[in-house]
Structure 1
């Protein structure tokens, strides 16, 4: 009897001493790291992989103690790279979104819920084929309002029309789970309406219509995509000559890939810059600065004529 008791105590000791190592971060919703728990909007915990596993365990918690996100990542600095099954939650504890990720891209079936727990959307995702295209890899198979009333039939076809509490309104048609035709969005605070034309899920063009009658077109599906004069090698040379690695990022070991979006105008000028994926404030700023001094590009061509095109590129900052 004494022998059994000794073995039991030994197992408990092993269990305690074998706890996984972990990193704890205090974060604001905008991604900013803070030093104190009380200053954070949520807490992120990264635990080392289990035996035989390669991905780290991810756990995020709101300040009220409820889970914000549970999942796995293949990397967590300078940013999270989600891998595998992931669950997001609202502050009230209800599920927000569940599904699988591959290299930070949604892959497979995803479910999205309203805060009241009602299923909002069910979609099938595939890895994007072209980085500069927008959401061409998503097929909606279920879509409903917060009361559970579905907008689509069993084939994923129907008309979506909703106005949210904050004044944002959106309407358009789905055909076999894909956006098709003209989609309109507006906000009570804005002086314009945005119209997007889709062809079976592919965004073809975007037109911003001001209340005074003016319109500004923006194309996505073109015959010839924009290009830096001289091609990829010339663009790489341009970046090498002009990029300056920020001192604070270098000193703290920050590196990674900034993904930038911008508009290539009809004359090849670059405008309307946006940071799609951030790495570090000074690195983001340097990527933006260099693109703003870029010479004119070859514009996108559609129907034999130059058009405004949305374009997305990665700019890699790597310490030697």
Structure 2
């Protein structure tokens, strides 16, 4: 009898030690033209990526006609050589706030336009993702849209979830989707004196403990992008995407004046933007250490382990800033 009990205890111990599988790695693709560089294809191969979340189009509201229309639909210069494609539709919150909002009609048009893009490019999908930062004022329309979209599309539906929607879910409610994707970035305010609007552990700590109570299964979206905040005469005048400190270090027109701040020393145009003498660029980004920190913090607070870690976004300009092992390292941290 003692031997039997010993084998049972040993078996339970071995099962416990095996733990759960690591989450798989996926990426968002957020350009209007689908065409992968050799470096991007290599990244997908090295990380055994078989799923891409591709932004298909945005939905916006015409200021005069109040008609909802698609913005910058995706063009496929090449067909994705990947197992699973997930169309992502970004919906401006003002669409949901419109007094003439017609949920069923918009859901049907959205489904039809996705189908048109797929048909034109001989693509198919099993899942569609809706990206919308809905508010208390728009939640009724948004939640109804999700219901209609799910009914009409007959697809698996995922939705992006922001930190504030997790913490206050009893007020903001939870969309009837199969899976949520926690967008663990864009946490702060884009301002002259803010720390890092993309990722701030201090801001995240105000929300992250609420994850254990959140009823919807969540995958995690993490940032690998950077940008420059263009400051002139003490005011923010624009965002300069996919800009890094190393980019400005190589430029004779800028000089570094702080850890992440660069001053314009010579007036010039850069990618169609005019920079005056005395302007500043404040660089914000996410380091490899930040990504590992995010994984550790989330692991200790999630109600259940995520199935996927989705990096935003697949672009050589982003990927070049990291060691090629960072994606597997981050996923392993969960």
TM-score when normalising by structure 2: 0.25
Structure with the higher fraction of residues in helix conformation: 2
- More relative contact order in 1 or in 2 (CA 8 Å, sep 6+)? 2
TM-score when normalising by structure 1: 0.26
Larger C-alpha radius of gyration, 1 or 2?
Answer: 1
Structure with the higher fraction of residues in strand conformation: 1
